[in-house]
Structure 1
C-alpha cells in the first residue's frame, strides 16, 4: 500500500501594494456591516485555501481554516465564518 508523503505548502500571497480601501456606505444597520465583513473574510480564506490545494470542503475543517487565517495574517474566524468558507469552496467548484 502506497503512503502519500505530507508536504508543507506555503502561501504565495505576497502582494506588491495593498488594494485601496473605500469607506463602507453610512446609515446601514450594524448587522449589515458585520455580515459584510464576515463575507469578505470568508472569501479571503476560501481563496487562500484554494491556493494551497484544499479543493473539497471535507478537507477544510475549522483547524485548517484557522491555521490558514493565521498564515495570511487575519484574526481567527468564528465557527459561522468557517461554515461560510466551506460553503464557498463547495459551490465554487
Structure 2
C-alpha cells in the first residue's frame, strides 16, 4: 500500500515578527515642514514625543503592556526593528510612561 509523503516548509520567521506591519507596505507620505518661529527646544521635544509614541505603539502591538517589562534594551531593540535611531534614556522613560497610561 502506497503512502503519500507529507512535506512541509519551515515557518517563515518574519511571519511571527510582532513589529512586521500586517498590511502591505505603502510608501510613506512626504513629511510636512514644521511651523517656523518656535525655539529649537520645542522641535527637539516634539520629535522626541513622536518617536516615543511610535515606539509605544510598536511595543503595545507586540504584547508589552507593563512598563516594568519595557526595559531600555527592549525599547532599543524595537527601535532597531522599526528602523529608528536608538532612543535616549529620556525617550525610553517617556515610552514607559505612555505604556502606563495607554492601557
* TM-score normalized by the length of structure 1: 0.86
Which deviates further from its counterpart, 31-40 or 19-28?
A: 19-28
Distance in 1 between residues matched to 2:38 and 2:25, nearest whole Å:
31
Establish whether residue 25 from structure 1 lines up as the match of residue 35 from structure 2.
Answer: yes
State the partner residue of 2:20.
12
What's the offset of the Cα at 1:19? Answer: 2.9
Unaligned runs of 5+ in 1: 1-8
Q: CA RMSD in A?
A: 1.5
For structure 2, the residue ranges without an aligned partner over 5 or more in a row are: 1-15
Q: Which has the larger radius of gyration?
A: 2
How much has 1:21 moved relative to structure 2? 1.2
CA deviation after TM superposition for structure 1 residue 16, in Å: 1.4
Runs of 4+ in 1 over 2 A off after TM superposition: 12-15
Cα distance in 2 between the residues matched to 1:57 and 1:15: 29
SS state at 1:15 partner: coil
TM-score of the superposed pair, with normalisation by structure 2: 0.78
Q: 1: distance between equivalents of 2:25 and 2:48?
A: 22
Length, aligned pairs only: 86
